[in-house]
């Protein structure tokens, strides 16, 4: 089996978000980058499937500039065999999906995260599936492969649905599909020499263009209410906040 895992390189979940250049560019200063948390679940499940199925190969793919390479190496250290980096700034979901689709042909299983935590689009997997003409599902919280059949649990509003479909598949993953894996020393050493191919992007006609970024208005101060006066809270929720 051939597995492809697509990873986004995103600011750590604790990052403060700021913009520069007249609110047109993300401010990377002081920001630590990580493998997207959902993509990390996808990668963890892919490694488990590879370990359980001899002869399985696992490739990771990232659309990003050269500064994402430490993150790609981390994915290699966790257990991927090789990597592809499409040398372009990931400016929009359709652009990213188009680049991934270029390199995703021939894989039996294409795993992604349910969403990136910078764009939060949640659409790249479905777009790639559509471009390749193969089925896609998200968010998948359980995945078992038996031959060419995948049994899955997909989260829906207020519960889950159990699904069965045939490979090839594109899936957006989330917990508890697997536990995040931490690279060990041997993995880190071997990742240094695993192949990382850099390819140039294909031209894409973007239908969506960024105009500017904005930050939310700062939050007002909290009003503290004594624990023995919950009636006051109810009154404020009714008359001041008007949410009851």
Partner 1 sequence: MKVLVFVEIDDKKIRSTSLEAIAYANAMGADVTAIALGSAGRASLEALGKYGAKKVLHASDSKLDQPIAQAYATVITKALTDENAEVLVLANSSLGTPVAAKVAIRTGAGLVSNVVDLPDTSSGFSVKRSIYTGKAFSVVEVTGAKKIIAIKKNAAELKEVGGTAQVVDYPVNLPDTDFNAKITSTEKATGEILLPEADIVVSGGRGMKGPEHWGILEELAKELHAATGCSKPVSDMNWRPHHEHVGQTGVKVAPQLYIAVGISGAIQHLAGVNSSKCIVVINKDPEAPFFKAADYGIVGDAFDVVPKLTAAIKAAK
Ligand X SMILES: Nc1ncnc2c1ncn2[C@@H]1O[C@H](COP(=O)(O)O)[C@@H](O)[C@H]1O
Residue from 123, 143, 171, 196 touching partner 1 (CB under 8 A): that is: 123
CB of 145 to ligand FAD, least distance (A): 26
Tell me which stretch binds ligand X (CB under 6 A): 1-9, 27-35, 195-203, 231-239: 1-9
Show the tokens assigned to 192. 């240094």
The listed partner (ligand FAD, ligand X, partner 1, none) that binds 66, CB under 5 to 8 Å by sort, is none
Residues between 34 and 53 that touch ligand X (CB under 6 A) = 36, 38-39
Site string for ligand FAD, 17-56 (x = CB under 6 A): --------------------x-------------------
Please, are residues 107 and 3 in contact by the beta-carbon 8 Å criterion? yes
* CA dist., res. 172 & res. 110, Å (int): 9
Cβ closer to partner 1: 77 or 134?
Answer: 134
* CA dist., res. 66 & res. 33, Å (int): 13
* CA dist., res. 115 & res. 155, Å (int): 14
3-state secondary structure of 71: helix
Tell me which stretch binds ligand X (CB under 6 A): 6-14, 175-183, 184-192, 218-226: 6-14
CB of 93 to ligand FAD, least distance (A): 21
Residues between 51 and 70 that touch ligand X (CB under 6 A) = 61-64
Site membership for ligand X, residue 91 (CB under 6 A): no
Q: What is the DSSP letter of 81?
A: S
Strand partners, 129: none
* CA dist., res. 5 & res. 107, Å (int): 10
Best CA proximity match to 114, nearest among 34, 60, 37, 17: 37
The listed partner (ligand FAD, ligand X, partner 1, none) that binds 212, CB under 5 to 8 Å by sort, is partner 1
Please, are residues 129 and 112 in contact by the beta-carbon 8 Å criterion? no
Strand partners, 149: 146, 166
Cβ closer to partner 1: 65 or 233?
Answer: 233
CB of 5 to ligand FAD, least distance (A): 17
Per-residue burial over 88-103, b if 16 or more Cβ lie within 10 Å, else e, is bebebbbbbbbbbbbb
Residue from 2, 69, 82, 165 touching partner 1 (CB under 8 A): that is: 165
CB of 47 to ligand X, least distance (A): 15
Interface ranges with ligand FAD (CB under 6 A): 13, 37
């Amino acid at each position: 089996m051939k597995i492809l895992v697509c990873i986004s390189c995103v600011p750590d979940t604790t990052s403060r978000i700021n913009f520069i250049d007249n609110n047109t560019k993300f401010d990377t200063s002081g920001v630590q980058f990580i493998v997207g948390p959902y993509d990390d679940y996808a990668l963890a499940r892919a490694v488990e499937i590879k370990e359980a199925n001899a002869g399985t190969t696992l490739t990771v793919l990232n659309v990003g500039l050269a500064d994402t390479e430490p993150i790609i190496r981390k994915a290699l250290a966790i257990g991927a065999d090789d990597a592809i980096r499409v040398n372009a700034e990931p400016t929009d979901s359709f652009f990213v999906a188009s680049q991934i689709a270029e390199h995703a042909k021939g894989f039996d299983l294409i795993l992604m995260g349910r969403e990136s935590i910078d764009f939060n689009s949640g659409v790249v997997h479905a777009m790639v599936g559509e471009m390749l003409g193969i089925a896609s599902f998200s968010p998948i919280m359980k995945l078992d492969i038996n031959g060419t059949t995948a049994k899955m649990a997909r989260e829906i509003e207020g519960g889950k649905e159990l699904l069965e479909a045939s490979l090839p598949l594109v899936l957006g993953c989330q917990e508890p599909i697997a536990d995040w894996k931490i690279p060990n020393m041997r993995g880190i050493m071997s990742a240094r020499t695993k192949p990382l191919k850099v390819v140039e992007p294909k031209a894409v006609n973007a239908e969506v263009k960024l105009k500017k970024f904005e930050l939310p208005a700062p939050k007002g101060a909290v009003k503290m209410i004594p624990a023995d006066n919950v009636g006051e809270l109810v009154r404020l929720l009714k008359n001041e906040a008007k949410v009851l």
